Amino acid sequence: MAYAEKQAQSWKKGRSGFRMSVRMRNLVLALTSFTALIVIWMLITGTGAVRPLFLPGPPKVLATLYKTAMSGQLAADLWISLWRIMIAFAMSCVVAIPGGIMIGSYKTASALVQPVVDFIRYMPVVAFVPLSILWCGTGEWQKYVIIFVGTFFQQILMVQDCVKRVPKELVDVGRTLEMPEHQIMLRIVLPAAAPGIWDAMRTTLGWAWSWLVLAELVAANSGLGYRITVAQRYLQTDLIIGYVLLLGVLGLITDQLMRGAEKRMFAYLGAQ
């Protein structure tokens, strides 16, 4: 017994030690590939093989970003973009979550809604841009519409899927307790589907960033995407690259924030 326990302990220790090293190793590997990317970038620009007009070096890009940040322009661009994505994404979630729950739970609702959603889902969002400008001009609503169209029709189907994957037996528990339909929805189906729904939100938020930039590139007078088009006009390649990198970092940060929240909210699921 004592031997077995010792074995188990050493195994556990060994395993957790192994885990740590895997994490460290992955971090090192990730840093390596990023460093390699920057080194290649520096080499290409440093040797003068490419004209700085087309590809400025990392120091120049950083300097430009710093300058833009100091002038307050970066914060202004960032703020308006963040605001747009928050509003549009929230609108999409507010409709997609209840809608997805409905079509995930009721066959009639699904038969009514799903064909239309599937149809619109396959229409390229880019093709809606001219229409959105015709309808909404170049104001805020045009951005909301593009982000909404790009996000909502994916979200609602993902939520539906999460709801469908709720084990039937959990619902049966509610039925044997004679819970009314709406209580089964609120107190069993929704919480059971919540981890999946949150994950769907995280994924679609990533896509929403792309739609935001698209909307700002084609018709805007503010925001990160707009600044990129202006930079193009003045051949400010350093600013374009800086903002593209910034968008990547923003996506990464929001994703990590949502993952962190996920770990907290759904801690009850245990380590997986």
Partner 1 sequence: MIAYPKLKVEGVSKFYGDPSAPVVVVDHVDMRLADNEFVALVGASGCGKSTILSIVAGLQKEYQGVVLVDNKEVNGPGRDRGVVFQSYTLMPWLTALENVEFALRATGTPRKERKKLAMDYLALVGLDKFSERYPSQLSGGMKQRVAIARALSYHPKILLMDEPFGALDALTRRHMHELLTALWERHRMTVLFVTHDVEEAIFLSDRVLIMSNQPGRIKEEVVVDLPRPRTHDLLTTPVFTGLQQRVLTSIREESIKLAKLDGLA
Site string for partner 1, 203-242 (x = CB under 8 A): ----------------------------------------
Instruction: Report the residue number, 28 or 271, with the smaller CB distance to partner 1.
Output: 271
Tokens of 85: 């994505």
Distance CA 225, CA 222 (A): 8
Residues 154 and 177 sit within 8 Å (Cβ to Cβ): no
Instruction: Report the residue number, 109 or 194, with the smaller CB distance to partner 1.
Output: 194
Does an H or E element contain 167, and which? none
Amino acid letter, residue 150: G
How many residues at the interface with partner 1, by CB under 8 A? 21
Instruction: Report the residue number, 86 or 170, with the smaller CB distance to partner 1.
Output: 170
Q: Does 175 bind partner 1 (CB under 8 A)?
A: yes
Instruction: Report the residue number, 98 or 174, with the smaller CB distance to partner 1.
Output: 174
Least distance (Å) between residue 133 CB and partner 1: 45
- Distance set, CA 93 to CA 129, 194, 242 (Å): 21, 13, 30
φ and ψ at residue 138, rounded to 5 degrees: -110, 20
Distance CA 250, CA 15 (A): 34
Q: Among residue numbers 243 through 272, which ones bind partner 1 (CB under 8 A)?
A: 266, 268-270
Residues 240 and 195 sit within 8 Å (Cβ to Cβ): no
Amino acid letter, residue 126: V
Least distance (Å) between residue 87 CB and partner 1: 30
Q: Does 188 bind partner 1 (CB under 8 A)?
A: yes
| Sole binder of partner 1 in the list 28, 169, 233, 234 (CB under 8 A) | 169
Q: Which stretch binds partner 1 (CB under 8 A): 14-22, 81-89, 191-199, 237-245?
A: 191-199
| Sole binder of partner 1 in the list 140, 174, 210, 258 (CB under 8 A) | 174
Least distance (Å) between residue 93 CB and partner 1: 20
Least distance (Å) between residue 128 CB and partner 1: 38
Instruction: Report the residue number, 54 or 169, with the smaller CB distance to partner 1.
Output: 169
Task: Kindly report each contact of residues 188-194 with a partner whose C-beta sits within 8 Å and lies 24 or more positions away, as own/partner.
Answer: 189/101, 189/105, 189/163, 190/101, 192/166, 192/167, 193/101, 193/104, 193/159, 193/162, 193/163, 193/165, 193/166, 194/265, 194/266
Q: Does 5 bind partner 1 (CB under 8 A)?
A: no
Distance CA 155, CA 92 (A): 8
- Distance set, CA 218 to CA 75, 188, 212, 250 (Å): 21, 44, 10, 21
Instruction: Report the residue number, 70 or 186, with the smaller CB distance to partner 1.
Output: 186
| Sole binder of partner 1 in the list 29, 177, 249, 253 (CB under 8 A) | 177
Q: Which residues bind partner 1 (CB under 8 A)?
A: 167, 169-170, 172-179, 183, 187-188, 191-192, 194, 266, 268-270
